Structures are given as C-alpha cells and as structure tokens.
C-alpha cells in the first residue's frame, strides 16, 4: 500500500509536560504500525521542542517547528533561526500555515524565502496553502493555490523539492469556526495542486510530493478523505490532540484506505 501521512500541528496549545506526555503516549499507541505504511509527525510549540526531541523515540514520530526565519542569524528579534532548529535535530519545518499568513500577515514571498532556507538546511519543508472563503466565492481558488505554490516554490529545483511536502488547508475549513471541505472539493483541489507540482518539478518529483488535507479533519470525515486518490495524508488539528483519539483516527483511516485498495 502507498505510504499515508498523518500529522498534527499543536499550535499554541500544550505546555512542555503535556507535549511530552502526549508524544510518548502517541508513540506507545502507534508503535505496532509499520513506518513503511505511515509517516507520523507532530509539530509542537517552540518551547516544547527540546524536551520533545530528548524524551520521545524519533523512530516513530517526526518532529517539526511551526515556523522559521529565512536568515541564519542577525537582527531579527523574536525569530528562530534554521541553525537553532538544526541544533535540535528536527525533521521538518512548517511554512505558511494559514494562521501565519492571515493572523500575522506573512506573504508568499516570505514563505518562499523560508522554503528555500529550510530545504537548504536539510529540513523537510511542509508548505501550507489554501484559499480564503472570499477567494472561493469569487471563483479564485485554483488561481490562489497555483500562486501560493508557484511563488512558494520559486527557485526550488526538482532535486530540492524531493524534501518538500504540501498541506492543502482551506482557510474557511480550519479551526473552531471552520467547516470541513467536502471530500469532492478536497479531491478536486488536490488535483489542482498535484498538476501544478508536476508543472513545477516534472512528473516524477511532482507526483512524489505528498499532499495532505487539513481543516476540520475529524473521525466523521477522515475515512472518506483518505480514500480520495489525490489525498496522501491528513493534517489534523483539534481531532488529533488526544493521543488515543489520534491513534483511532489513524487506524480507521488506514483500514479505509486498505479496503478501498488505495495504491
Ligand atoms: P483543525 O483540524 O483544528 O481545523 O486545524 C487544522 C490545522 O490548522 C492544522 O494545521
């Protein structure tokens, strides 16, 4: 079976002790699942990262940062450098999460600098893309996604892109006020994204980049989402923040994918 991706972003939730306890439980719960079949990753708060890297078995879970500066050092008060994240031995860096773009005003051009910097420093770069509700209503979703990808991956070579992942997270679908995308809509937009990745990096690399769906993933829609041909994984917020619930969601989704013969 094709490898499925399951990850969560802990946003500004969970302190150090809670993060470590959550990760240890998640590892314990999911240990028997072959990592040939799944890629499991968690993106905790910055302050929890050091303890998480020390106390959690990284053979079972990849750890990432929620953001990163595009410079190694300098007069960038409040920012975190790729060298600092490298010191922790992190696996991945998330770039351009909807909340970074829409609450903190980050632009596609800034995300591009971060993507390049993350890839040059050996991290997996998880670029998040997604249209707002207004852009969707104006019929601009595909243009917005293509722009976010073309700018976000500008000057990224196919060789570099082998360490890129993409999360499609429609802004209107995320968080407590979000409405999840229908499975048909999600599949349609994943196809737009994959087509754009092929244009940018060629068929082999373009199609090898995992594209995850995020935005109100929950036990009621995860199984339908994961069987869609262009959905390679689920990037989950609230429904993953209890280790037992996330474990169940992962196992149910894997069973659905297997039953659907997902290749
Ligand atoms: P929710 O699943 O809570 O909507 O959050 C999704 C998300 O933002 C993951 O990064």
At 157-207, the pLDDT tens digits run 999 999 999 999 999 999 999 999 999 999 999 999 999 999 999 999 999
Distance CA 154, CA 263 (A): 30
Distance CA 62, CA 65 (A): 11
Distance CA 137, CA 53 (A): 42
Question: Can you name the residues that pair with 235 across neighbouring β-strands?
Answer: 7, 214
Which residue lies with its CA nearest to atom 2 of ligand 1?
237
Which residue lies with its CA nearest to atom 1 of ligand 1?
237
Token digits of residue 57: 């078995």
Sign of CA dihedral 195, 249, 10, 71: negative
Catalytic-labelled residue, pool 110, 135, 169, 187: 169
152 and 115 Cβ atoms separated by less than 8 Å:
yes
Mean pLDDT of the chain: 97
**Overall average pLDDT of the 6-32 stretch:** 98
Active site residue 97: yes
93 and 124 Cβ atoms separated by less than 8 Å:
yes
Q: What is the CA radius of gyration of the chain?
A: 17
Active site residue 169: yes
């Amino acid at each position: 079976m094709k490898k499925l991706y399951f990850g969560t972003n802990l946003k500004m939730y969970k302190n150090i002790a809670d993060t470590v306890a959550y990760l240890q439980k998640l590892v314990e719960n999911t240990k028997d699942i072959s990592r040939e079949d799944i890629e499991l990753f968690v993106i905790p708060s910055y302050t929890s990262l050091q303890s998480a890297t020390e106390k959690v078995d990284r053979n079972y879970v990849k750890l990432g940062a929620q953001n990163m500066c595009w410079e190694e050092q300098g007069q960038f008060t409040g920012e975190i450098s790729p060298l600092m994240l490298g010191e922790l031995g992190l696996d991945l860096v998330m770039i351009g999460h909807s909340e970074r773009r829409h609450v903190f005003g980050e632009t596609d051009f800034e995300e591009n600098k971060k993507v390049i910097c993350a890839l040059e420093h050996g991290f997996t770069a998880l670029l998040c893309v997604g249209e707002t509700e207004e852009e969707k209503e104006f019929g601009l979703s595909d243009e917005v996604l293509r722009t976010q990808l073309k700018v976000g991956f500008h000057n990224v070579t196919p060789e570099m892109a082998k360490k890129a992942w993409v999360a499609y997270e429609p802004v209107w679908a995320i968080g407590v006020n979000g409405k999840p995308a229908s499975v048909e809509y999600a599949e349609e937009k994943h196809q737009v994204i994959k087509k754009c990745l092929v244009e940018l990096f060629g068929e082999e690399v373009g199609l090898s980049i995992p594209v995850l769906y995020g935005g109100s993933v929950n036990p009621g829609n995860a199984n339908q989402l994961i069987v869609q041909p262009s959905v390679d994984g689920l990037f989950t917020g609230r429904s993953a923040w209890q280790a037992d619930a996330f474990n169940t969601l992962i196992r149910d989704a894997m069973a659905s994918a297997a039953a659907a013969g997902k290749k």
